[in-house]
């Protein structure tokens, strides 16, 4: 693999605890320094593009999907392994006929020619698609493995089959999911993106697909390392309550824990380029006496399953009677606690609105408006205004809009987990 980028691990937390307190909250900022490592060698990268070719894609959608796939293919670096898959009730390999091809002028041209002939027919079996990509990924151990999945409809498989298929490919590749139009389910694609450490978004207008695919592939081509993990060591008697990615999006990693030796566990971070992400880590520790100090957790960035430490930070705890010290709230912890609550409030509010529970919908979406205003999350605030009439943002006083376009509701739901970073002002 390519030389590891230099990671910095910065810990933002109030280490001072009051008498009888046993929880330490910290925001951990992990940064891969720009310029320390370029993109991974092309020979160590796999890209798979999966296009929904079910009957519902007939017309402008399939035309836009063809154009978007061609745009993504054009962004492939020479030497990258790739494949294009047409998905309906099964997964049909478009190019190459089997396995993967190596990107070059000839293979890109051949793939483009076949993609331009794609037609829409059949049902939707997303579990089949993911299983097929998993098989391709297993042929490229040690590589950065990434897929784009596009659909316009709801999965037609049984819930159990889909769940089994998704579990079978977890950790095999990362996946960015896109829904075109408004007939697909946000929760389905979010489930895939969360499990496979990718993104989910709506492309309401098929005409915007090509630009979106080009952007996704551009980011993928800049990745420099695969299979990173956050390794947390805690002393005897301490435990990890939760680990959440909180920027650029909210993703709960707590249940993704794997044991990594005595008193250590790893949480997957996926593939990285030159970027920075924030994580909220909550640690429960044995209560200490006044004046006691302890190391609550050692946070390391590692290659998953290896001993290679690429960056490290410390979470400490000190018990004090000084309330001026113990009552300070870390700005990062306070901010991201609000951002996580914002995502929950939006999703709960939209679910209540869909169920006809107007009081709950009004209360939760009102809370979301207040949180978005307080944190400076202007993008989410604008999306909320399409679903509610804002009477007073700071207090969260809103009225539900009687007529809301499906695209506005789905866009708010899809982008509810996007966060803004802590503002630099005092």
pLDDT tens readout for residues 291-306: 999 999 999 999 987 7
Reported as a pLDDT band with limits 50, 70 and 90, residue 211 is very high
**Position 124 pLDDT exceeds 90:** yes
35 vs 15: which has the higher pLDDT: 15
Average pLDDT of 209-229?
A: 95
- Position with higher pLDDT, 203 vs 5: 203
pLDDT, tens digit (0-9, with 9 covering 90-100), for 339-382: 999 999 999 999 999 999 999 999 999 999 999 999 999 999 99
User: Each residue of 371-397: pLDDT tens digit?
Assistant: 999 999 999 999 999 999 999 999 999
DSSP state of 55: G
In which band, very low, low, confident or very high, does the pLDDT at 308 lie, cut at 50, 70 and 90?
A: confident
pLDDT grade for 1, boundaries at 50, 70 and 90: very low
Please determine, for residue 57, whether its predicted confidence score (pLDDT) is greater than 70: yes
Crossing angle of helices 126-138 and 159-169, rounded to 10°:
20
Model's pTM, two decimal places? 0.94
Structure confidence at residue 38 (pLDDT) = 78
Q: Tell me which CATH code domain 332-414 carries.
A: 1.20.120.1690
Task: Delimit the domains of the chain by residue range.
Answer: 7-37+226-323, 42-221, 332-414
223-239: buried (b, 16+ CB within 10 Å) or exposed (e) per residue?
A: bbbbbbbbbbbbeeebe
pLDDT attached to residue 424:
55
Q: Is 260 exposed, middle or buried (0-12, 13-18, 19+ CB in 10 A)?
A: buried
Q: Residue 131 is encoded by which pair of tokens? A: 């299983």
Which homologous superfamily is 42-221 in? Answer: von Willebrand factor, type A domain (3.40.50.410)
Task: Summarize pLDDT for 25-53 with one digit per residue, the tens.
Answer: 999 999 987 655 679 999 999 999 999 99
pLDDT for the residue numbered 305: 74
pLDDT band, residue 426 (cuts 50/70/90):
very low
Fold of the CATH domain 7-37+226-323: Immunoglobulin-like (2.60.40)
Per-residue model confidence as pLDDT tens digits over 176-198: 999 999 999 999 999 999 999 99
State how far the alpha carbon of 287 is from the alpha carbons of 23, 94, 177, 411, in Å.
9, 60, 44, 45
pLDDT at position 307: 73
Give residue 60's pLDDT band: very low, low, confident or very high (50, 70, 90): very high
Report pLDDT for 304: 86
- In the chain, the largest separation of any two C-alpha atoms, in whole Å, equals 73
Show Cβ contacts of residue 170 under 8 Å, excluding neighbours closer than 6 positions: 195, 196
Predicted confidence (pLDDT) per residue in 125-183, tens digit: 999 999 999 999 999 999 999 999 999 999 999 999 999 999 999 999 999 999 999 99
Strands (E), 234-376: 239-247, 251-252, 258-259, 264-272, 276-284, 293-303, 309-319
Q: Where are the beta strands (DSSP E) in 261-364?
A: 264-272, 276-284, 293-303, 309-319
Percent of the chain with pLDDT over 90: 93
């Amino acid at each position: 693999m390519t030389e590891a980028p230099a990671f910095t691990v910065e810990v933002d937390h109030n280490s001072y605890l009051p008498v009888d307190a046993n929880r330490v909250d910290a925001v951990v900022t992990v940064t891969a320094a720009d310029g320390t490592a370029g993109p991974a060698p092309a020979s160590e990268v796999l890209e798979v593009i999966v296009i929904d070719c079910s009957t519902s894609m007939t017309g402008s959608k399939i035309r836009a999907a063809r154009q978007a796939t061609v745009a993504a293919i054009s962004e492939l670096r020479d030497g990258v392994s790739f494949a294009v898959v047409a998905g309906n009730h099964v997964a049909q390999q478009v190019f190459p006929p089997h396995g993967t091809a190596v990107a070059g002028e000839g293979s890109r041209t051949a793939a483009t020619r076949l993609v331009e002939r794609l037609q829409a027919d059949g049902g939707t079996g997303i579990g089949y698609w993911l299983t097929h990509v998993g098989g391709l990924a297993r042929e490229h151990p040690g590589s950065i493995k990434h897929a784009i999945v596009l659909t316009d409809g709801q999965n037609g498989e049984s819930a159990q089959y889909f769940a089994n298929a998704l579990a079978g490919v977890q950790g095999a590749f990362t996946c960015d999911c896109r829904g075109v139009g408004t007939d697909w389910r946000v929760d389905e694609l979010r489930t895939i993106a969360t499990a496979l450490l990718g993104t989910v978004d709506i492309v309401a207008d098929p005409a915007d697909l090509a630009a979106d695919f080009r952007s996704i592939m551009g980011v993928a081509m800049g990745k420099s390392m695969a299979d990173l993990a956050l390794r947390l060591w805690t002393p005897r008697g301490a435990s990890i309550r939760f680990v959440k990615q909180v920027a650029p999006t909210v993703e709960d990693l707590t249940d993704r824990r794997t044991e990594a030796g005595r008193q250590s566990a790893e949480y997957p971070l996926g593939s990285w380029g030159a970027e920075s992400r924030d994580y909220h880590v909550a640690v429960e520790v044995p209560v200490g006496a006044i004046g006691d100090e302890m190391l609550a957790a050692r946070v390391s960035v590692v290659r998953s399953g290896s001993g290679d430490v690429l960056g490290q930070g410390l979470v400490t705890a000190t018990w004090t009677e000084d309330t001026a010290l113990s009552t300070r709230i870390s700005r990062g912890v306070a901010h991201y606690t609000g951002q996580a609550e914002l995502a929950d409030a939006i999703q709960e509010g939209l679910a209540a609105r869909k169920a006809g529970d107007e009081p709950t919908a009004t209360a939760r979406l009102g809370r979301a408006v207040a949180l978005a205003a307080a944190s400076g999350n202007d993008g989410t605030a604008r999306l909320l205004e399409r679903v509610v009439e804002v009477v007073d943002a700071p207090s969260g006083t809103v009225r539900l809009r009687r007529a809301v376009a499906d695209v506005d509701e789905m866009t708010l739901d899809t982008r509810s987990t996007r966060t803004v970073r802590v503002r630099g002002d005092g």
